Amino acid sequence: MLGVTNPLTYVLGTAAIVLLPGPNSLYVLSMGARRGVRDGYRAAAGVWLGDAVLMTLSAGGVASLLHAYPWLFGIVKYLGAAYLAYLGVRLIISTLRRRRDPEQATAVAEPKADRPFRRALVISLFNPKAILFFVSFFIQFVDPGYPHPALSFLVLGVIAEVLSALYLTLLIFGGRYLAGQFRTRRKLAAGLTTLVGGAFLAFSVKLATASLS
C-alpha cells in the first residue's frame, strides 16, 4: 500500500510506542493540569512539530548517517539527556522552594514566562523514545523498491501523528481534571510535580544509555 510494508503491524507497533510513557506525553499532561486545555494543545503542537522534523530527517537519510557515524548519535543523545535532566532538577528544586513558602504553593512548577510550544518542541526533538522510533523502527516499513518513497514516509508520518493527536488529546483533558484536584490538594500537586521531575531525570538516564542497535 503506497510503498508501506505490513501496514497493520506498523499501526499496532506505533500505537504501542505512543502509549508508552515518555517525556512528550508527560509534559503535555502536566501542561494540561497546570495551565489548562489551551496551553496543553500548545505543548502538543510542539510535540507534533518535533515529531514531524524527526520524521523528515529520517526520510532524508539521517538515520543511515547516524548508523554510519555513531558519535553523531552520541552527541544528540547526551545533549538531550542533559536538557531532560535540567528540566527534572528544575522541577524538583521548584517544589522544594514552594514547600518552604506555602503561600506560593500551586500546581504550577514552572515560571509563567515559559512557552509550552517551544519547550515541548525541544523535548520532542531530544525525546529518546521518538529518536529511536524514527531512526530504527519507522524506516523499516518503507518498501525500498517503491518508486515514490516520499509518499510512503508521508503515509507513515500521518498515521503516527494521528495516533499521537488522539492520545495527547486524552492526556490534555485528563490534565484538566487533575487541575481541579490540585486546587484543593496542594500536597498532591507538590507530589506530582516532584514525580514529574524524577521522571524527567529517569528519561535523561535512559537517553544517555540508549543505542541504535
Q: Is pLDDT of 187 > 70?
A: no
| Range in 10-14, 31-35, 77-81, 101-105 the model is least confident about | 101-105
C-alpha cell at 39: 496551553
Residues ≥6 apart with Cβ < 8 Å to 185? none
Residue 183 belongs to a domain: yes
Which residues form the domain of 114?
A: 7-208
pLDDT for res 22: 80
C-alpha cell at 124: 520532542
CA distance 15 to 27: 19
Q: Is pLDDT of 159 > 60?
A: yes
Q: How confident is the model at residue 145 (pLDDT cuts 50, 70, 90)?
A: confident
State the average pLDDT over residues 20-30.
83
pLDDT for res 79: 77
| Range in 40-49, 74-83, 176-185 the model is least confident about | 176-185
Answer whether 12's CB lies under 8 Å from 92's CB: no
Number of Cβ within 10 Å of residue 38's Cβ equals 11
Average pLDDT across the chain, whole number: 77
Residue 111 belongs to a domain: yes
Residue appearing with cell numbers 510506542 = 17
Residue 92 belongs to a domain: yes
CA distance 196 to 88: 7
Q: 22 by DSSP, 3-state: which?
A: coil
Read off the amino acid at residue 169: T
Residue appearing with cell numbers 514525580 = 195
CA distance 174 to 7: 30
pLDDT for res 9: 87
Residue 86 belongs to a domain: yes
Residue 167 belongs to a domain: yes
Instruction: Quote the number of domains for the chain.
Output: 1
CA atoms within 13 A on the CB side of 201: 12
pLDDT for res 108: 42
Residue 108 belongs to a domain: yes
pTM (whole model) above 0.85: no
State the average pLDDT over residues 119-136.
80
Q: Which residue has the higher pLDDT, 89 or 181?
A: 89
Answer whether 167's CB lies under 8 Å from 48's CB: no
Residue 1 belongs to a domain: no
Q: Is pLDDT of 152 > 70?
A: yes
* 110 dihedral zone (left: phi>0; alpha: psi -120 to 50; beta): beta
Residue appearing with cell numbers 521548584 = 94
